[in-house]
Structure 1
Amino acid sequence: MAAGYESAGFKTGDSASVTYRAGIIVGKFSPLHLGHRYLIDTAMAACEKLVIISYAKPEYSEYKASTRTQWLQSLYPQATSLVVDDAWFEARAKDGIVDLFSCVPHDDEPDDIHRRFTAWLCRDVLGETCDAVFTSEDYGDGFAAVLSEEFAQSVVHVCVDKARSTVPISATRIRDDKALRARYLPSVVRASFVKKIVFFGAESTGKTTICRELSRQYKEPLVEEYGRELWIEKDGELDFDDLLKIGVTQIAWEREAAMQAREYLFCDTSPLTTEFYSDALFGKVDPKLNSLALVHDYDLCFLCMPDIPFVQDGERQDEAFRARQHQWYLDQLQQREIDYIPLSGDLRKRIAVVKATLKNHS
């Protein structure tokens, strides 16, 4: 069980013995919260295998199908999970697949349509049937009856914590009050809503100092530069393959740190910066590193301007190199159509601009 679940103070109790061959759970998971985890964990303990299906129409903009897929695969890789939306149907139609359903049913459509839609996904798409359906709702008995008909076998309804006394939360409450995310979302889910702030800047433009100060003031995680750490470890003798390692490790550090953040994650660099150094040091860039640099998922980008005195710390090059690096950033950000906020003036002014921007985007 994920640490984020236990640390919130909610426990599943004693593990149940395996009772069912296969179970099924259906939900919007918008977002997937600790109440859902309690339901799924209970079903996992009682079943040899578990099918988890998620869909919603209309969907919530913050909880897209791709995001929910990532949550379920991260938390329950041992389960068979399927998240569908209308785009999923469109992709199947383009592949020439003729389905019984042509789109996701609207939330307001009759219960019978939703139940038969779920049965079709389970049986015809996933190739599974089940003998138990797990819910925390009144509709569970009727759902089990339809599944029994569709699967031509007995399906029982297992009702779990209907009163929500074990984990007193609902997705509706979390959507209405985002402050509840910190307590009731698993860390991997909560990380999806953390604002990732990245800083670009040539050498000696205050980038690292700004990041560290913001991390201190906001009491939020800082993702340091792995490249600098490796550079020091190898006495400045990096190999070409090290640059891809730096980019991959940097992303891994970001993902890990995001699960510890509450609202913000401050990133002192990104694979885009690593791409620059790869080209500057070796005159080439690994295609895999370039792909990492092309994936842009930061919420805010700041570019530190080279309008403060250059300070040589023994590892930097010179002002000409700083000017070259700064121009490269300007060119790349424009080419990639990445919006950024310039930071000029002394460190105090730069930090003030960042804080004002964060306040305006809260």
Structure 2
Amino acid sequence: MSATGAAPRRFRHGLVVGKFYPPHAGHHALVEAAAARCAAVTVVVAPSRRESIPLDLRLAWLREVHAGTPWVRFVGRHDDHPVDYADPAVWDLHCAVFADALGGESVDAVFSSEAYGGELARRFGAVAVDVDPQRRAVPVSGTAVRADPAAHWRWLSAPVRAWLVRRVVVVGAESTGTTTMARALAERFRTAWVPEYGRELTARKLATLRRSRPDATVFDVTWDRDDFVEVVREQQAAEDAAARVSGPLLCCDTDARATALWEERYLGSSSAEVRAAARRPALYLLTDHEGVPFADDGLRDGEHLRAWMTGRFRVELAASGVPVVELRGTHEERLATAAAAVEDLLAAGWAFTEPLLPAH
């Protein structure tokens, strides 16, 4: 039975089933359609364990996007049964998973954009409601997103973008062009970039010091462990916020690994808390100090340590397990090297394990 073409009808309890691998605008439209016509909706997120996006993440993403419809609940169950729409016994296995997620509650409508929606509704004694089965309203699918996330970026919600975005981190010794490079790459690829919070904190510390000592310089600024914890916390918060609105690439000026080296430079060692905060970006770009004049802008104090810092970065980044590309030469040469590395990164695409596919 189908409600397609009939006058809109209200339902007591609607059911939506899917893998949401990953959730996209088509999924959200489906959930919204159910929410608009039902007093309550249960969305069963049912991936197989072989898939490469954790179930808990999908649930969190969906709950965030649909927080405005509290009568829609999201329930996760792993479904590792084979997919064979012609086998009644296999249907029984899948429906048992969905029924378990419903917790014994009945449904009177099944909302779906898939061909199997009618049979699923029949098995639950419910009305089948087709929602944009031809993908005309929202021309996207999970298969298409997995094949090329960048091409379908506009159909992805903020939390999904933040998880998929390729983060490229530019690091290097003082006055070696990290900020210039991060900004230039963002302009080249028309995406967002994240400035260095530590520089902002340095400026604030110096300004505070000058209120009582007008002649103070950056050499008078002092640092403690809490300062570096703050730098990591604020830097990562800014990065995560930018990742939600960025394109498929996000350019970052420094990260926690770099902060650990600055902590070592000022305090003699890096703390376990700062080291533990290190993440795994897609690529590091290391700006070499050779051939780059030291520009004293009033916030820099380490010209004599640039060679040492470059060496420390090489050692630390080599142990990170993240690809590293060193940038040398003129700014134009460095930008060309960096852009080529980023283009290779984006061309490599994203790797998803295949979901369980229907039997042929």
Alignment TM class, shorter chain as reference: 0.7 to 0.9
Alpha-carbon RMSD: 3.1
Which residues of 2 match residues 77-92 of structure 1 at below 5 A? 79-82=73-76, 84=78
TM-score (norm 1): 0.75
Distance in structure 2 (CA, Å) of the matches to 1:110 and 1:169: 26
SS in structure 2 opposite 1:312?
coil
Which residues of 2 match residues 198-217 of structure 1 at below 5 A? 198-217=169-188
Aligned to 1:316: 300
Task: Tell whether the 8 Å contact from 1:134 to 1:157 is kept in structure 2 after alignment.
Answer: yes
Cα distance change, pair 348–71 in 1 and its aligned pair in 2 (3 A): same
**C-alpha distance after superposition, 1:96-150 (max 9, x if no partner):** xxxxxxx7123346564554444433444674634143212342232123235xx
Distance in structure 1 (CA, Å) of the matches to 2:330 and 2:56: 42
Q: Are residues 1:54 and 2:31 paired?
A: no
Aligned to 1:3: none
Match of 1:265 among 237, 250, 257: 250
Distance in structure 2 (CA, Å) of the matches to 1:198 and 1:113: 51
Distance in structure 1 (CA, Å) of the matches to 2:230 and 2:103: 40
Distance in structure 2 (CA, Å) of the matches to 1:176 and 1:326: 38
Distance in structure 1 (CA, Å) of the matches to 2:331 and 2:11: 63
Cα distance change, pair 277–354 in 1 and its aligned pair in 2 (3 A): same
Gaps of 5+ in 2: 1-7, 207-220, 348-360
Shift of 1:43: 2.2
Which residues of 2 match residues 1-362 of structure 1 at below 5 A? 19-20=11-12, 22-45=13-36, 46-56=38-48, 59=51, 65=55, 68-69=58-59, 71-76=61-66, 79-82=73-76, 84=78, 104-108=80-84, 110=86, 112=88, 115-124=91-100, 127=103, 129-131=105-107, 132-148=109-125, 155-175=126-146, 180-235=151-206, 236=221, 238-283=223-268, 285-293=270-278, 295-296=279-280, 298-308=281-291, 309-361=293-345, 362=347
**C-alpha distance after superposition, 1:289-316 (max 9, x if no partner):** 32221x31x1111111121233322222
Question: With CA pairs under 8 Å and 6+ residues apart, which has the higher RCO, 1 or 2?
Answer: 2
Which entry has the higher C-alpha Rg, 1 or 2?
2
Distance in structure 2 (CA, Å) of the matches to 1:114 and 1:286: 54
Residue type of the partner of 1:157? A
Shift of 1:338: 2.9
SS in structure 2 opposite 1:354?
helix
**C-alpha distance after superposition, 1:154-183 (max 9, x if no partner):** x44333233434323333444556564133
Shift of 1:266: 0.8
Shift of 1:240: 2.7
Identity value in percent: 31
Cα distance change, pair 136–64 in 1 and its aligned pair in 2 (3 A): same
Report the number of matched residues: 318
Cα distance change, pair 25–266 in 1 and its aligned pair in 2 (3 A): same
Residue type of the partner of 2:116? Y
Aligned to 1:91: none
Distance in structure 2 (CA, Å) of the matches to 1:324 and 1:251: 26
Distance in structure 2 (CA, Å) of the matches to 1:329 and 1:19: 61
Cα distance change, pair 352–67 in 1 and its aligned pair in 2 (3 A): farther
Residue type of the partner of 1:222? W
Residue type of the partner of 1:35? G
TM-score (norm 2): 0.75
**C-alpha distance after superposition, 1:21-49 (max 9, x if no partner):** x4332223233221111001222342435
